[in-house]
Structure 1
Amino acid sequence: MAERVDYFSRKFEKKLKLEELIAESATVEKFLKRVLEVVANEFPARVASVYLWDDGEKKLLLTATYGLNAELERKVKLKMGEGLVGHTMKTHKPLLLAKASADPLFLPIDGLGEERYDAYMVVPVEFSGDKIGVMVLQRETENAFTENELKAFKEIGAQVMKHLKSAGLLLSLRGSGTTSEEVDIEDGSLEVGFSDAEDMYGVAGTIDSDEYTAQVKHRLLHRKLRKHMQQQYVFIAKKATTATTLATQGEGVIRSKHVSLSDFDTFLGKTVLVEADFVRAVKKTTEQIRKLQLSLSEHLSEWAHNIFVGHLLILKDEAYTGKIRRRIEEGIAPTIAVTRVTRAYMRFFSKSNIPSIREKAQDIKDLGLRLLKNLTTAEAEQDLEENIKGKILITRDLYPSELMFLKYQGAKAVVQVSSINVLTSHMSLIAGSLKLPFMITQDESILRAPSREKVLLDFENERIYVCPARDLLRTCMARERTRVKEERIDPKRIKTPTYTQDGVRIKVLANINLLEETRELKKWGTDGIGLYRSEFPFMVRNTFPSENEQYHLYKRIISASGGKEVAIRTLDVGGDKILPYVSDHQFNTNSILGLRAIRFTLKYREVFIDQLKAILRAAVGMRVKIILPLISSLEEVREAKLVLAEAKKRLDHLGELYTEEYSLGIMVEVPSVVWILDELADEVDFFCIGTNDLVQYLLAVDRNNDMVANFYSHYHPSVLRMIKAVITAAERNEIQCTLCGQMGEDLQMIPFLLGVGLKRFSVSLANYGSTCSAIEQYSTHQATIIANQLLNASHVRETEKILQENLLA
Structure 2
Amino acid sequence: MNAPARVSAGAAARDILRRLHDVMASRSTAQAKLNRVVDIIAKSLTSEVCSIYLLRDGVLELFATHGLNQSAVHVTRLAVGEGLVGQIAEHREPLNLAEAKAHPDFAYKPETGEEIFHSFAGVPIIRQEASVGVLCVQHADPRQYEDIEIEALQTVAMVLSELISAAGLIDKSALGSVRAHEGPLRLDGMALVDGVARGRAVFHQPRVVVEHTVAEDVEVEKERVVAAFDQMRRQIDAMLGKAEFAAPGDHDDILETYKMFAYDEGWIRRITEAIDSGLTAEAAIERVQMKTRARLRGARDAIFAERLSDLDDLSNRLLRLVSGQIGTAAEMGIRRDTILLARNLGPAELLEYDRRYLKGVVLEEGSATSHVIIIARAMGVPVLGQVKNIRAQIAEGDTLLLDGARHTLFVRPAEAVTEQFTEQIAARARLQAEYAKLVGKPAETVDGQRISLFMNAGLRSDLPHLEATGADGIGLFRTEFQFLVSATLPRRERQTRLYEAVLAAAGERPVTFRTVDIGGDKAVPYVSEQRREENPAMGYRALRLALGREGLMKVQARALLDAAAGKTLNVMFPMVSEPWEFEAARQIVEDQRRHLIDRGADVPAQVNYGAMLEVPALAEVLDTLLPMVDFLSIGTNDLVQFLFASDRSHPKLAERYDWLSLSVLRFLKRVVDAADEANVPVTVCGEMGGRPAAAMALLALGYRRLSITPAGIGPVKAMIRTLDLADLTEAMQGWMAAGRNIRAALEGWVEMHGTVIPGR
TM-score greater than 0.5 by the shorter chain: yes
Q: Hey, what does 1:349 align to over in structure 2?
A: 292
**2:477 matched to 1:527?**
no
- 3-state SS of paired residue (1:709): coil
- CA spacing shift, 1:786–1:528, aligned 2, 3 Å: same
Q: Hey, what does 2:620 align to over in structure 1?
A: 675
Contact 1:748 1:807 in 2 (8 A): no
Q: Report the alpha carbon displacement of residue 748 of structure 1 after superposing the two structures with TM.
A: 1.6
- 3-state SS of paired residue (1:792): helix
Instruction: Give 5+ residue unaligned stretches, structure 2.
Output: 25-122, 135-155, 213-219
Q: Report the alpha carbon displacement of residue 337 of structure 1 after superposing the two structures with TM.
A: 6.1
Contact 2:519 2:530 in 1 (8 A): no
Q: Hey, what does 2:194 align to over in structure 1?
A: 243
Instruction: Give 5+ residue unaligned stretches, structure 1.
Output: 1-54, 59-176, 267-272
Q: Report the alpha carbon displacement of residue 471 of structure 1 after superposing the two structures with TM.
A: 4.2
**2:159 matched to 1:206?**
yes
**2:182 matched to 1:230?**
yes
**2:376 matched to 1:414?**
no
Contact 1:689 1:737 in 2 (8 A): yes
Which of 662, 672, 692 in structure 1 is aligned with 2:607? 662
Q: Report the alpha carbon displacement of residue 657 of structure 1 after superposing the two structures with TM.
A: 3.5
- Distance in 2, Cα, partners of 1:802 & 1:572: 40
Q: Hey, what does 2:456 align to over in structure 1?
A: 511
- Distance in 1, Cα, partners of 2:681 & 2:485: 32
- Distance in 1, Cα, partners of 2:283 & 2:690: 53
Q: Report the alpha carbon displacement of residue 569 of structure 1 after superposing the two structures with TM.
A: 0.6
Q: Hey, what does 1:736 align to over in structure 2?
A: 681
- CA spacing shift, 1:782–1:425, aligned 2, 3 Å: farther
How is 1:535-684 mapped onto 2 (pairs within 5 angstroms)?
535-586=480-531, 588-651=533-596, 656-684=601-629
Which of 317, 328, 342 in structure 2 is aligned with 1:367? 317
Amino acid of the residue matched to residue 286 of structure 2? Answer: R
How is 1:32-431 mapped onto 2 (pairs within 5 angstroms)?
194-196=126-128, 204-206=157-159, 230=182, 235=187, 237=188, 239-241=190-192, 243=194, 245=196, 250-251=200-201, 253=203, 262=208, 285-294=232-241, 295=244, 298=247, 299-301=249-251, 303-304=253-254, 306-314=256-264, 319=269, 339-350=282-293, 352=295, 362-369=312-319, 371=321, 375=324, 383=331, 390-395=338-343, 406=350, 412-417=360-365
> What are the Cα deviations for residues 602-647 of structure 1, in whole angstroms up to 9, with x where unaligned?
1222212221121111111211211111222212112222222333
Q: Report the alpha carbon displacement of residue 243 of structure 1 after superposing the two structures with TM.
A: 3.0
Contact 1:534 1:569 in 2 (8 A): yes
- Distance in 2, Cα, partners of 1:494 & 1:184: 71
- 3-state SS of paired residue (2:703): coil
RMSD between aligned alpha carbons?
5.1
Amino acid of the residue matched to residue 195 of structure 1? Answer: R
- Distance in 2, Cα, partners of 1:588 & 1:668: 23
- Distance in 2, Cα, partners of 1:561 & 1:602: 29
Q: Report the alpha carbon displacement of residue 710 of structure 1 after superposing the two structures with TM.
A: 3.5
**2:700 matched to 1:755?**
yes
- CA spacing shift, 1:704–1:765, aligned 2, 3 Å: same
Q: Report the alpha carbon displacement of residue 599 of structure 1 after superposing the two structures with TM.
A: 1.5
Contact 1:494 1:772 in 2 (8 A): no
Q: Report the alpha carbon displacement of residue 486 of structure 1 after superposing the two structures with TM.
A: 3.5
Contact 1:567 1:625 in 2 (8 A): yes
Q: Report the alpha carbon displacement of residue 201 of structure 1 after superposing the two structures with TM.
A: 9.0
> What are the Cα deviations for residues 699-744 of structure 1, in whole angstroms up to 9, with x where unaligned?
2222111222333211112222222332222222222222211111
- Distance in 2, Cα, partners of 1:405 & 1:668: 40
Contact 2:132 2:170 in 1 (8 A): no
- Distance in 1, Cα, partners of 2:667 & 2:538: 20
- Distance in 2, Cα, partners of 1:285 & 1:56: 39
Contact 1:574 1:590 in 2 (8 A): no
- CA spacing shift, 1:673–1:405, aligned 2, 3 Å: farther
Contact 2:574 2:612 in 1 (8 A): yes
Q: Hey, what does 2:111 align to over in structure 1?
A: none
Which of 718, 723, 731 in structure 1 is aligned with 2:663? 718
> What are the Cα deviations for residues 291-315 of structure 1, in whole angstroms up to 9, with x where unaligned?
4435456431552352222344158
Contact 1:616 1:659 in 2 (8 A): yes
Q: Report the alpha carbon displacement of residue 214 of structure 1 after superposing the two structures with TM.
A: 8.6
Q: Report the alpha carbon displacement of residue 760 of structure 1 after superposing the two structures with TM.
A: 1.9
- Distance in 2, Cα, partners of 1:252 & 1:533: 34
Q: Report the alpha carbon displacement of residue 568 of structure 1 after superposing the two structures with TM.
A: 0.4
- Distance in 2, Cα, partners of 1:205 & 1:280: 24
- Distance in 2, Cα, partners of 1:636 & 1:513: 24
- CA spacing shift, 1:502–1:291, aligned 2, 3 Å: farther
Amino acid of the residue matched to residue 488 of structure 1? Answer: Q
Contact 1:730 1:737 in 2 (8 A): yes
Q: Report the alpha carbon displacement of residue 204 of structure 1 after superposing the two structures with TM.
A: 4.5
> What are the Cα deviations for residues 91-118 of structure 1, in whole angstroms up to 9, with x where unaligned?
xxxxxxxxxxxxxxxxxxxxxxxxxxxx
